[in-house]
Structure 1
Amino acid sequence: MHRRRCRSAVLALGMIASLLVPTAVAAPPAAAAPSGTRKVIAQLFEWNWPSVASECTNVLGPKGYGYVQVSPPQEHVKGNPWWVAYQPASYRVESRKGTRAQFQSMVNTCHAAGVKVIVDAVINHMSGQDNGGTGWAGSSYGHYDYPGIYQTQDFHHCGRNGGDDIVNYNDRYEVQNCELVNLADLKTESDYVRSRIAGYLNDLLSLGVDGFRLDASKHMPAGDIAAIKGKLSRSAYLVQEVIYGAGEPIQPTEYTGNGDVHEFRYGKDLARMFNSERLAYLKNFGAAWGYLPSGSAVAFVDNHDTQRDGGVLTYKNGGSYALANAFMLAWPYGSPAVMSSFTFSGKDQGPPSDANNKTLNTTCYSGWECEHRWRVIANMVAFNNATQGAAVANWYDNGYQHIAFSRAGRGYLTINDEGFAVTGRSYYAGVPAGRYCDVIHGDFGNGSCSGPVITVDSSGWFAANINAHDAVAVHIGAKLP
């Protein structure tokens, strides 16, 4: 939680329609343990628990997503904005997204569909309400008083800048001991506080969750997180929110010893390549750009914070956003996280809710964007699964906005983001000869393809015309009989 090249031609309407169409929903698979090759995370932002459960069964499992990241489940302050979920009032698993029993049922259902569950865990702070109040589940609280949990001595009171708020991000002490926008900052160096936080995380582990996205990790020393991790009842996947700042004393690399870390530069740089620079520059995208090592990073085009802060592509960019996600899911850097948003026009706007601010069941494309269902994005998840461990090979670019590459014998993607079609040329895919479903434009299932079929010859080549602002992708998991 934290606070295009201008084109002479618009995106072709037909191309946008093909990229944004929802993918077909397959029949639910038999219950199975999640595959080790399933690394893609779907962030179902602010979805309620019954809706997450249904999505695991009907979409996430069948499409090959490995994880679902759910929004904070603890009791929070009352209100409509999305950020109320990031202001805990207690550690009870009861929120506007559902009850403890519904949460438990959701975890079980997702596991049955082969999808692991990551919880967005708010452990750096409690609420930011000066006057306190009553939380969603009825717990009373004050800004520094959470009966039976924390009192004023359990919080930092840094007294800087005429108050307790962070002002200077070049001051390590201030960033980790002052308040992020008035949110009561927990004294995570205290063993008592660490034990209470671990107690909350262990409660979630007892409900079967598989991992945690640790919100505001930058505002806690890496050693404090390590100490909390040491109190967990069993192993769990961790990804930490640490936003890179050039020249700042706190860097994402400090946290890799605890688990994965979000690579915030990825989405901003990818947007810049699509908007104002050249896709050709992506030839060595990743660690060579100064990013975290691939094995320690979670990459994303956008998340719930960055899509509100600007500088990234979001669902509002339509076809460009779909193509950026296609690239991310085809390119071997980090663990990719796909954003699934609700529609918003204001920065603070909350999810679709009833009169009491209880989150409504998700109805895709009616208040909810469901980008994870867009054909390009959903189908490229299987591409990612099919190409795990395969190196990039056969890179091609025209020096500008037309690129192509293979994943050594397992898959091939070409993106043409020029304002004109590329016609009359062939591409060396390097995959076994045969007929393949173009998963950018069609769904593969039961040995058939609902869209165009690409024929790769015995030498590994295929011919195709690529429309402006469009793409073609094939992989060995979508090979036709």
Structure 2
Amino acid sequence: MDSDKAAVWVTNWDTERNGSSLTTRDGTSYLLANAFMLAYDYGQPHIFSGYYYAGVDDGAPGATRTSVPDMTCPTDGIETAGTWHCAQRWTAIRGMIGFRNAVAGTDVTDWKKYETNVLGFGRGSTGYLALNNSDADSTQTFTTSLPAGTYCNVYTTGDCSDTVTVAADGTFTATVAKGSAVALYAGATPANWTGTRKYDPSDPAWFTGETPHKGDDTAAKSADSAASAKSGDAKSGKATSDAIRRAATLAAILLPVIVGVTFMAIARRNGKAQSDNSGPNND
């Protein structure tokens, strides 16, 4: 299907419950798949933001037969059943939406597999994404078409505290943490970045490594008030299946047609993803 007629997503309200797609329960692999979808030049991407649940038939938090209350985003990093994802606010998702909007109209370039489950590709001379879906950190010298300079890694933080310097020949050397990525684009530089929040309070703990979040005062204060929250997201057995899931995810990352679980005829509006609070000027 032609790109301008395709809508793509990693999961939706049906596939997240029938085992046919990656979901938030897959943690870093799920987030990397969304990053790939937003960075690659195919279709109109859709970010699914639902809620954590214990049973497949569970309804939305607080919902009745006639109403659904306003969404309240989590603040403690714990994926508690009966709370919303608020994935559109996650640090990496917001960063990648800014990436997609910046690279719109550019070609995919500098595609290279650096090692098993480690992939890098660019979008012309405007952006570059390196993904590590392996079980170990990976140090590589990545080849890009970016101009020389220092860039914010918009995947890992929202305050430009993680930076990468591209040399005059377009290369940069970086250690990409296991299950993480490096996302750079023109305009996302320390000189013009005004975001001050390292993490969003809704970020899952598996992304921040903090429970409750300590990335910024606002998140920490919000987390203190919810310190008694208990996790309702069952994670038992995840460790034993991580290797299998990561191998399966690589196929999704390398094949953009697979990333889009379902396609429907819909016109893409200038190739830009639609969401709130994206871009370098958001706190």
Q: List aligned pairs for 1:278-293, cutoff 5 A.
A: 292-293=1-2
Q: List aligned pairs for 1:85-124, cutoff 5 A.
A: none
Q: Counterpart of 2:10?
A: 301
Structure 1 position 341 matched with structure 2 position 53: no
| 1:301–1:324 Cα contact (<8 Å) kept | yes
Q: Counterpart of 1:375?
A: 91
Q: Counterpart of 2:142?
A: 427
| 1:435–1:456 Cα contact (<8 Å) kept | yes
Q: Counterpart of 1:394?
A: 110
Q: List aligned pairs for 1:253-264, cutoff 5 A.
A: none
Q: Counterpart of 2:183?
A: 473
Residue identity opposite 1:375 in structure 2: T
Q: What SS does the corresponding residue of 1:455 show, helix, strand or coil?
A: strand
The one of the two structures with greater contact order (alpha-carbon pairs below 8 A, sep at least 6) is: 2
Deviation at 1:477, TM superposition (A): 2.9
Q: Counterpart of 2:170?
A: 460
Residue identity opposite 1:440 in structure 2: Y
Distance in structure 1 (CA, Å) of the matches to 2:65 and 2:41? 44
Q: What SS does the corresponding residue of 1:316 show, helix, strand or coil?
A: helix
Runs of 4+ with deviation above 4 angstroms: 354-357
User: Structure 1 residues 336, 441: closer, same or farther in 2, change over 3 A?
Assistant: same
How many residues align? The count is: 184
User: Structure 1 residues 354, 406: closer, same or farther in 2, change over 3 A?
Assistant: closer
Deviation at 1:464, TM superposition (A): 0.5
Distance in structure 2 (CA, Å) of the matches to 1:349 and 1:297? 30
User: Structure 1 residues 415, 359: closer, same or farther in 2, change over 3 A?
Assistant: same
Partner residue of 1:438 out of 153, 157, 172: 153
| 1:434–1:480 Cα contact (<8 Å) kept | no
Which is helix-richer, 1 or 2? 1
Q: Counterpart of 1:317?
A: 26
Distance in structure 2 (CA, Å) of the matches to 1:306 and 1:433? 42
Q: What SS does the corresponding residue of 2:174 show, helix, strand or coil?
A: strand
Distance in structure 1 (CA, Å) of the matches to 2:5 and 2:49? 23
Deviation at 1:399, TM superposition (A): 5.5
Structure 1 position 385 matched with structure 2 position 101: yes
Q: Structure 1 regions of 5+ residues with no counterpart?
A: 1-291
| 1:103-128, Cα deviation, whole Å (9 max, x unpaired) | xxxxxxxxxxxxxxxxxxxxxxxxxx
User: Structure 1 residues 354, 377: closer, same or farther in 2, change over 3 A?
Assistant: closer
Q: Counterpart of 2:278?
A: none
Distance in structure 2 (CA, Å) of the matches to 1:354 and 1:412? 41
Q: What SS does the corresponding residue of 2:30 show, helix, strand or coil?
A: helix
